[in-house]
Structure 1
Amino acid sequence: MCSVTGVILLNSLKYKEVERKLVQVLKKAEDRGRDSFGVISVRKDGSTIHSKSLGKPSDNEEKLRDVIDIETSLVVANNRAEPTTEYVKLKGENDVQPFEGERYIVSHNGVIANDKELEVKYSLERKSSIDTSVIPPLLDKLWDGKLETLPDIINQIKGSFAFIIADKKQPDKLFIVQNFKPVYMAYDYALEAVFFSSLDDFLDEDPFYPMNMRKLDPYSIIEVTNKKQLRKVDLQSTKNQRRVLVIASGGLDSTVAATKLLKEGYDVTLLHFNYHHKAEEKERESVREISRFLNVELIEVDTDLFKLVGNTTLLKEGGEIVKDRGGISGAEFAHEWVPARNLIFLSVALAIAESKGFSYVATGINLEESGAYPDNEMEFNRLFDRMSPYATGPNRKVRVLMPVGNLMKREIVRLGVEIGAPLHLTWSCYEGGNKHCGKCGPCFMRKEAFRINGLVDPIEYDA
């Protein structure tokens, strides 16, 4: 829709260098908006410098000269891609972002669905028919400029948004407000300035250039000052929201993960996938018994998807499971890799969680198996968690947990015994016989984990 840009100057003596970089950021940001652009600089005394134009910054670069001076404290800017629903045929300066009220200046990426309702409810006077123009007068009327009071106002807005907000009475700080629209922050050491933009690519980070980049959290409000102070409040409260959907295979790891979450006070539901793998019947039997033992609900998903994907020995008629007498090579290499399995499982779980009102999805991924399987790596879970707000509907944030993600197999067994997890009901083997085969990778790892802990494994093996 648009790209939002902001700058806080920590050293106003470098204002010309900061201005040159701002121009480069806005030219790169044309990728997210080519219909108009605008810059409003706020000086230390609260006065402002304006520059707005139709078209692209690269075609109107003269409009970006002298938008920052030695008295400038911060900058709010915008590249606009005009939505079909907000089209204005004859546009004037009042139709170009950023929009300015008596006190507040706002740059917005996204769409506001209830701008007319807000206008009527609060008797607001706006300068444009464009949806964002309702925000400055809304803030002028309702907000006192304190971070803690802003969520109550923002939560009245329906739609999508990343706002960069300046307060002319507080020219030493910027407020960055997001639901699922992204904002990146970069501290440029050389220029002594903090930049904000909708994409990290626009900030042109070089691996050898002294800049500290971070992505700001979705569904949050960030206050950043020219003293390099940062405060954050969440737009969504997770207090008392303890419902978690645990992807459960019926094996050790997910069973210990589910039990651990129960002990921590979560309301647990198990989610199990039947996907025509060799151990399908044994896993299904185990996970049903585990759900009864833990007294938690179980959701089962039957899918033929992986028959279509194919190319794995883990499926029925998929070939022989690798077995080693010592078990080591079968345990340390992903011979039974199922393409994108955990990604697919997590995606389905995320959809069910959103639909049924769960606040969390959890998995049994662990540090041990990350040595062989990329989708057991903690980083996979962390990245999926960071992606999840952009895969769910507005205000339906679902977090992703990994209760045993940092544990080795021996630690998982020890924890399971300590918390009373039903390890005797679990099924770890890749095969689907009457007993664990004792020779596949998971069987080897399980036997070794119990042996290292000096414990007797409660299940039986063929070998």
Structure 2
Amino acid sequence: MKTLVICSGGLDSVTLAHKVAAEHTVSALLSFDYGQRHRTELDRAAHCAARLDVPHLISDIGQTGRLLSGSALTDDVAVPDGHYAEETMKATVVPNRNAIMLAIGFGIAAARGDDAVATAVHGGDHFIYPDCRPAFIDAFQAMQDQALDGYATVRLYAPFVSLPKSAIVAEGARLGVPFDDTWSCYKGGDRQCGRCGTCVERREAFDLAGVPDPTEYEDPDFWRTAVAGKGAA
């Protein structure tokens, strides 16, 4: 199965790229420049593509990202600290982000003759990101079946959609993913902050999976407080 992998450069999508490379054929990695706060993730996606010896495609949707205003990921809005279960984490929602990216990915895959588009959405995303839930994945596949009817058949491959992030860490460890060459932090910087929702989730996932975390964090112990209280200290 020739698969176009949507890869942000984060832990989940890099693990997905390695999984597809081990089980199928990666046709290319597709990343998006949507006006996010930093380009560190894109650099890590490029490293992954080079490691797997596949093309790295970047779709520039920066103008679209600027129109999707109000998110801490794209605007001058403070990135909240704490656990994803907190109401404050809704500030990190970019409306329709996955729907937009997948629609572009399916168009590119159909044009290239690929069999599938892979996305790394997972169970931990379900709480605040509606376009990461199983119902969305099923509905999107049904929509694309209609959109590409008579032109191409492209499958949406989302193997992590019902899994916790700890299972992704375990899978990445099995596949030999270089976790220290992945980036999760929303804030950027020289080191991952250890305090934003995605850093807390990342740190907790390694602990639950029983896998050593090679990541350097500005605040490596904050996650314990955030997880214990389901909120920021």
- Measured on the aligned residues, the alpha-carbon RMSD in Å equals 1.7
TM-score by length of 1: 0.45
Please list the CA deviations of residues 70-99 of structure 1 after superposition, one character each: whole Å capped at 9, or x if unmatched: xxxxxxxxxxxxxxxxxxxxxxxxxxxxxx
Q: Which amino acid aligns with 1:323?
A: D
Which of 318, 322, 330 is the matching residue for 2:80? 322
Q: Does 1:246 align with 2:2?
A: no
Which of 48, 51, 63 is the matching residue for 1:293? 51
Q: Does 1:375 align with 2:131?
A: yes
Task: State the distance in 2 between where 1:276 and 1:293 align.
Answer: 26
Task: State the distance in 2 between where 1:286 and 1:433 align.
Answer: 14
Which of 363, 376, 379 is the matching residue for 2:119? 363
1:387 Cα deviation (Å)? 1.4
Seen in structure 2, the aligned counterparts of structure 1 residues 275 and 343 have a Cα distance that, compared at 3 Å, is same
Seen in structure 2, the aligned counterparts of structure 1 residues 321 and 283 have a Cα distance that, compared at 3 Å, is same
Q: Which amino acid aligns with 2:58?
A: E
Alignment of 1:214-233 (within 5 A): none
Task: State the distance in 1 between where 2:42 and 2:56 align.
Answer: 11
1:329 Cα deviation (Å)? 4.3
Q: In structure 1, what is the equivalent of residue 196 of structure 2?
A: 440
Task: State the distance in 1 between where 2:9 and 2:191 align.
Answer: 15
1:361–1:398: 8 Å Cα contact kept in structure 2?
Answer: yes
Please list the CA deviations of residues 154-191 of structure 1 after superposition, one character each: whole Å capped at 9, or x if unmatched: xxxxxxxxxxxxxxxxxxxxxxxxxxxxxxxxxxxxxx
Q: In structure 1, what is the equivalent of residue 142 of structure 2?
A: 386
1:455 Cα deviation (Å)? 2.3
Q: Which amino acid aligns with 1:294?
A: L
Q: In structure 1, what is the equivalent of residue 222 of structure 2?
A: none
Alignment of 1:3-402 (within 5 A): 242-279=1-38, 281-303=39-61, 304-315=63-74, 317-324=75-82, 327=83, 329-330=85-86, 333-392=89-148, 394-402=150-158
Q: In structure 2, what is the equivalent of residue 422 of structure 1?
A: 178
Seen in structure 2, the aligned counterparts of structure 1 residues 330 and 296 have a Cα distance that, compared at 3 Å, is farther
Please list the CA deviations of residues 325-351 of structure 1 after superposition, one character each: whole Å capped at 9, or x if unmatched: xx3545994330001100000111011
1:375 Cα deviation (Å)? 0.9
1:265 Cα deviation (Å)? 2.5
1:244–1:360: 8 Å Cα contact kept in structure 2?
Answer: yes
4+ long deviations beyond 4 Å = 328-333
2:3–2:24: 8 Å Cα contact kept in structure 1?
Answer: no
What are the ranges of 5 or more consecutive residues in structure 1 without an aligned counterpart? 1-241
1:286–1:425: 8 Å Cα contact kept in structure 2?
Answer: yes
1:440 Cα deviation (Å)? 0.3
1:420 Cα deviation (Å)? 1.5
Of Structure 1 and Structure 2, which has the larger fraction of its residues in helix? 2
1:257 Cα deviation (Å)? 1.4
Task: State the distance in 2 between where 1:285 and 1:402 align.
Answer: 23
Alignment of 1:401-420 (within 5 A): 401-420=157-176
Task: State the distance in 2 between where 1:411 and 1:296 align.
Answer: 26
Task: State the distance in 1 between where 2:10 and 2:65 align.
Answer: 20
For the residue of structure 1 that corresponds to 2:29, the secondary structure is strand
2:80–2:89: 8 Å Cα contact kept in structure 1?
Answer: no
Please list the CA deviations of residues 97-136 of structure 1 after superposition, one character each: whole Å capped at 9, or x if unmatched: xxxxxxxxxxxxxxxxxxxxxxxxxxxxxxxxxxxxxxxx
2:116–2:155: 8 Å Cα contact kept in structure 1?
Answer: yes
Q: Which amino acid aligns with 1:462?
A: E
Seen in structure 2, the aligned counterparts of structure 1 residues 328 and 384 have a Cα distance that, compared at 3 Å, is closer
For the residue of structure 1 that corresponds to 2:92, the secondary structure is coil
Task: State the distance in 2 between where 1:330 and 1:268 align.
Answer: 38
Instruction: Name the structure, 1 or 2, with higher relative contact order (CA <8 Å, separation 6+).
Output: 2
Asked which structure has the greater CA Rg, the reply is 1
% identical aligned pairs:
33
1:331–1:442: 8 Å Cα contact kept in structure 2?
Answer: no
Q: In structure 2, what is the equivalent of residue 43 of structure 1?
A: none
1:249–1:272: 8 Å Cα contact kept in structure 2?
Answer: yes
Task: State the distance in 2 between where 1:391 and 1:299 align.
Answer: 23
Please list the CA deviations of residues 425-461 of structure 1 after superposition, one character each: whole Å capped at 9, or x if unmatched: 1100111111101100000000011112232212211
What are the ranges of 5 or more consecutive residues in structure 2 without an aligned counterpart? 220-233
